Structure 1
């Protein structure tokens, strides 16, 4: 697409949640803003495809309604959210499926937490105390505590190693995309708090509906798709393949971490977690409820029947199963996964049709302690950066980072935020 000839106040490179939030705040303060997106759609890693009648997100996604930035920026009713069950099923070494349910939301399932089923009395008491603190204490107390690994924090809270291995490690591996629980305990407490306070769900049109709603709130023409940026220049940014220059007085790089590092030499780029999600079509639903399934042996991070969460995600008479594993796809890996799914669902998965495989190499930034929950966005005169790699690996982190970048731009320009 040919660039505009005029110079804008701010060029935002990247139309993921961080870039869209930043652009909205800058426009609200009266600046002229252009958003340049390399791909054919907004969203970054929050994209949704349609494959042979199935709705397939770019990697397994969940949407948490309790995030402050989510509540501030989005019309949740318009997303037509469909909830997951408030709990998980844990597939054990013994081949059993044990249910972990939040009894405050589903009192009739409180018996699932009786001692001797998933955990003993001491672990249940420790879990209750940890959950009460994380849910009720001011967030600032959680973020100011000593930062250590999640595993260390769970041990300090009185949770036994047995319960960690049976519940927390399988469940949190799918949240953090790492299986050693080495993620920052500060981030863990915030995530646990958000799960206790909010609802995990999916938009009716797939996760891509979230960034589309953010983009729809920008003026027409503010977002330019198909505009890959090659490098930054003194007067803006140069498009790839000789596509010209986008002129701007200030540039905010809101891409993924690797692309940001190439546009901003010297920018610290954290290592990232890679995840692969397999989408299979089954002739009948192997689990007739919208519940996450985890595996104690970690042959997969999590699995769920997406068409039980959102029936429109699969054609009538078919079930769509999404299963995520750490790392990339490889020879023989899907066969091993199908065997694990056959055991976990107690249904023959060998004949399920493969709909799609999505590998996300920069799905989440690694967040070992000590991990700052937010980093400054200003890199140099007229140069800023935002994204979840500058905060926390979550939609909240991305949106908050975009908001921080906008505040810093406005402060440096002497413009009050609106």
Structure 2
């Protein structure tokens, strides 16, 4: 598994200015901001490796992500952290393909959208015209969002996304066949239950810059963050069981003293240490990784497209030839196909999902997927915090002086939200400490 941190033992007498509990994206980013402000930081992680939900397993030359995270180059925090300067992002080019039984539509970032080439013709002129109108409506929606300042989006009335789109006059056919599956890929929400503001911002980022995968697997992001911290900052295999403003009690390493504690775990784990902390509902995600016989042909363009099932003909919401987008995910000559299951079907057993997905994957990729080898599947019931309207994208990160919390459950349920909440929490710590040069945390509404 990628992202393994040094395993230097924690001494019972060890002290630090700030102890960060949780070695995921938010905890490691917060540690960077705090060490950059001159504070002594200790990050403790209960598992054997850092990364949290951004984990990657190496198996027979393949790199298999545990989650279905897709990154957006438009997220400011990916470029604001110097430690991520070496992060290579592999874009989906030309973007996403919304594939149905009758028509496929290619959608890319940078405000472009065009019908797919080489697809089976629609049966009947009315279907052709209907598909063209839906594509034009999607083009119009994305183009408008790409050019709208975030301040104007934030000033809009907040509704569940499905209701908001209907109120704007977007036909239900366009919503169900195009916007709903696209939002599922962006936010893990196949039902359009998220806040319309969050959805608008996510679609805006997609329209401006598209989507991408981190080279080397999702774990490369926390791996870069952990590797750039001062030696000895990160300790794995240390489980916190209780906290106070100046100490952390652990399961096997005694009491660790400090001047402040920052809890950067998932919401459920944070609520154990901070009783009364709000725990949101979650969107579940299951990821299936198949080894294909050969790279499947893509009749709608390059193999580096994200293929989204616009008609939900099976459990898979979207699929990709991951080794084409990021060649490091498979050895030369091998093909890795990664597929993501959202919603209620994500709770099904891996065997059941694999059986149900193969006919659908055959249709999506244009080849017989019946002989593909299932390498591994990963189920995460708490993958993406739900963000129903009204959604507070800036939940408090300061519990009281000396006790703080951060994570995607305090912001938006994306990597950008996790990173930005870390910036806000580190800024609160520095202000309470009276440390100059605290990380700036101006209001940035980015999903």
TM-score by length of 1: 0.92
Q: Is 1:89–1:97's contact at 8 Å kept on the other side of the alignment?
A: no
Cα separation, 2, equivalents of 1:106 and 1:185: 22
Name the counterpart of 1:8: 16
Name the counterpart of 2:347: 328
Cα separation, 1, equivalents of 2:384 and 2:269: 14
Structure 1 residue 393: Cα displacement: 0.6
Kindly provide the CA deviation profile for residues 151-172 of structure 1, in whole angstroms up to 9, marking residues without a partner as x.
Answer: 1222233321111111111222
Name the counterpart of 2:322: 306
Structure 1 residue 204: Cα displacement: 2.3
Summarize the alignment of residues 219-298 of structure 1 with structure 2, pairs less than 5 Å apart.
219-233=230-244, 235-240=246-251, 242-288=252-298, 289-298=303-312
Q: Is 1:123–1:158's contact at 8 Å kept on the other side of the alignment?
A: no
Kindly provide the CA deviation profile for residues 54-76 of structure 1, in whole angstroms up to 9, marking residues without a partner as x.
Answer: 01111223221110111111566
Name the counterpart of 2:397: 377
**Cα distance, 1:117–1:311 mapped onto 2, change above 3 Å:** farther
Alignment partner of 1:100 out of 97, 100, 106: 106
Kindly provide the CA deviation profile for residues 167-212 of structure 1, in whole angstroms up to 9, marking residues without a partner as x.
Answer: 1112222323232211111101111111122242222211211112
1:162 is aligned to 2:176: no
Name the counterpart of 1:195: 206
Cα separation, 2, equivalents of 1:77 and 1:414: 29
Count how many residue pairs are aligned between Structure 1 and Structure 2. Answer: 414
Cα separation, 2, equivalents of 1:223 and 1:68: 25
RMSD: 2.5
SS of alignment partner, residue 383 of structure 2: strand
SS of alignment partner, residue 325 of structure 1: strand
Alignment partner of 1:362 out of 361, 365, 382: 382
Structure 1 residue 234: Cα displacement: 5.7
Cα separation, 2, equivalents of 1:246 and 1:273: 35
Q: Is 2:289–2:376's contact at 8 Å kept on the other side of the alignment?
A: yes
Alignment partner of 1:346 out of 362, 366, 369: 366
**Cα distance, 1:199–1:104 mapped onto 2, change above 3 Å:** closer
TM-score by length of 2: 0.86
Cα separation, 2, equivalents of 1:329 and 1:352: 20
User: Unaligned 5+ residue runs, structure 1?
Assistant: none
SS of alignment partner, residue 369 of structure 2: coil
User: Unaligned 5+ residue runs, structure 2?
Assistant: 1-8, 118-125, 439-447
Structure 1 residue 129: Cα displacement: 4.3
Name the counterpart of 1:45: 53
Cα separation, 2, equivalents of 1:73 and 1:117: 47
Q: Is 2:57–2:64's contact at 8 Å kept on the other side of the alignment?
A: yes
